[in-house]
Amino acid sequence: MFTRVQTVLTQKLHILPDRPILIGVSGGADSLTLMDILGKLDYPLIVAHFNHLLRPEASHDARNVELLAAKRGLPFTLGEGSAKDYAQEHHLSIEEAARELRYRFLFKQTQLYGAQAVAVAHNADDQVETVLMHLLRGAGLDGLTGMPYRALPNPWSDSIPLVRPLLGVWRAEIETYCAENSLVPVVDATNADTTYFRNRLRHNLIPELETYVPGTRVRLVQTADLLTADRQVLEEFTEQSWQAVLAEIDESYIVFRLPAFRLPPLGLQRRLIRKALAHLRPGARDADFFLVQRALDFATNPTTTGQTDLGLGLRIALE
């Protein structure tokens, strides 16, 4: 596993130990493993932890990560914010709110420390869950490719990549690594809380799928890898079409040339809508099939009022 991660870092992520990496550390098995491996490979690290204020013991967990960083002689930075309050204010799920707060904090710290990348410890099991979540939500090709090893640009930066060195490593391998290297992870009780959608997939649906088709997890990861190659081809066509249809762009609105938008095949039209949504709502994951379809229906047959609500606080209109 160690050698595989080293190969991913240099050949897939193009990360060299010449500049700091800011690593998100929750204190769980995944992030402890990533921190340990990067440290053994002599990568200069900044340890970052974000407290979402969701659990009474969260402050204790943050202190444990701080002590661990100090023991290894690593810089430590801590952020905190109420995921519940942010979720209510922005009409997001708790998971989405926590994610947005956390990544915004991590990328802000890269500017302070001059880090070359933000590293997070998503693993292959996380990839399986992500692909399934997107499939059940009604995602297109982009969603079914899951999480990339390297995301640049990303919703938080056009210059600092988000990297996932452990994406090809299974959770069981990580747990073995922790045991063999005397790493003692923090146990987050919310990981067992099946009121969260991802946890229901992890603890209920995926084990059930494995009883129908043994090896389901491996096949889902393989499928995501295959679709990633197809997606790269489509992205080139999407960019060409984007340049043809884009009339004006700002942080809060995008103007398309409607006759030009109607020319490409339906699949490219959907990708153009998703690209626009990603610009207007960076980081949002609720742009499902029906939202995109509402936009397409309007472009094909505008309403008599010349405008309609799409959801996510977005409106589409004719000028």
CATH number at residue 271: 1.20.59
Question: pLDDT category, 303, cuts 50, 70, 90?
Answer: confident
Tell me what pLDDT residue 91 has: 84
User: Are residues 125 and 266 located together in one domain of the fold?
Assistant: no
Question: Domain boundary residue among 212, 242, 259?
Answer: 212
Confidence of residue 90 (pLDDT cuts 50, 70, 90): confident
* Predicted pLDDT at 36: 98
Asked whether 299 and 262 are in contact (CB, 8 A), the reply is: yes
Confidence of residue 268 (pLDDT cuts 50, 70, 90): very high
Give CA–CA dist 22/44, Å, rounded: 9
- Give the dihedral of Cα atoms 178, 182, 188, 193; nearest 10 deg: 50
> What residue numbers bound the domain in which 8 lies?
2-212
Q: Is the confidence at residue 102, as pLDDT, over 60?
A: yes
Q: Are residues 190 and 291 in the same domain?
A: no
More confident residue, 150 or 288: 150
204 and 237 in a single domain? The answer is no
Same-domain pairing of 266 and 311: yes
The string of pLDDT tens digits covering residues 119-140 is 999 999 999 999 999 999 877 7
Reported confidence tier of residue 88, pLDDT bands at 50, 70, 90: very high
Pick the residue with more confidence: 164 or 312? 164
Q: Who contacts 168 (Cβ-Cβ below 8 Å, separation ≥6)?
A: 4, 8, 124, 149
**Listed range (33-47, 124-138, 219-233, 269-283) with the worst mean pLDDT:** 269-283
What ranges make up the beta strands (E) of 219-306? 246-249, 254-256
Torsions phi, psi of 315, nearest 5?
A: -135, 140
Q: Is the pLDDT of residue 222 over 70?
A: yes
**Quick check: is 158 in a domain?**
yes
Q: For residue range 228-247, what is the model confidence (pLDDT) as tens digits?
A: 999 999 999 999 999 999 99
- The verdict on 85 and 202 lying in the same domain is yes
β-pairing, 117-119 vs 76-80, is unpaired
Query: Are residues 302 and 247 part of one domain?
Result: yes
Alpha helices in the chain (DSSP H): 2-7, 29-40, 58-71, 83-90, 94-113, 124-137, 141-144, 171-180, 197-200, 206-212, 216-245, 258-261, 266-280, 289-300
Kindly state whether residue 221 falls inside one of the protein's structural domains. no
Return the pLDDT at 98: 94
pLDDT at 306: 83
- pLDDT at position 283 is 63
Determine the Cα–Cα distance for residues 42 and 226; give it in Å rounded to an integer: 33
Per the model's pLDDT, the better-predicted residue between 119 and 2 turns out to be 119
- Chain-centroid distance of CA 105 in Å reads 14
Strand partners, 315: 309
Q: Is the pLDDT of residue 288 over 80?
A: no
Same domain flag for 145 and 238: no
Mark whether 143 and 290 lie in a shared domain: no
CATH, residue 80: 3.40.50.620
Q: Distances from the Cα of 71 to the Cαs of 47, 188, 243, in angstroms?
A: 12, 22, 52
Please say if the pLDDT value at position 296 is more than 70. yes
How confident is the prediction for the chain on average, in pLDDT? 92
Please give the average per-residue pLDDT across 137-157, as a whole number: 90
- Which residues, in sequence order, are CB contacts of 71 under 8 Å at separation 6+? none
Q: What is the mean pLDDT of residues 67-76?
A: 97
For the whole model, what pTM was predicted? 0.85
189 and 285 together in one domain: no
Q: Do both 177 and 257 map to the same domain?
A: no
Q: Which three-class secondary structure state does DSSP give residue 30?
A: helix
Rounded Cα gap, residues 185 and 201, in angstroms: 23
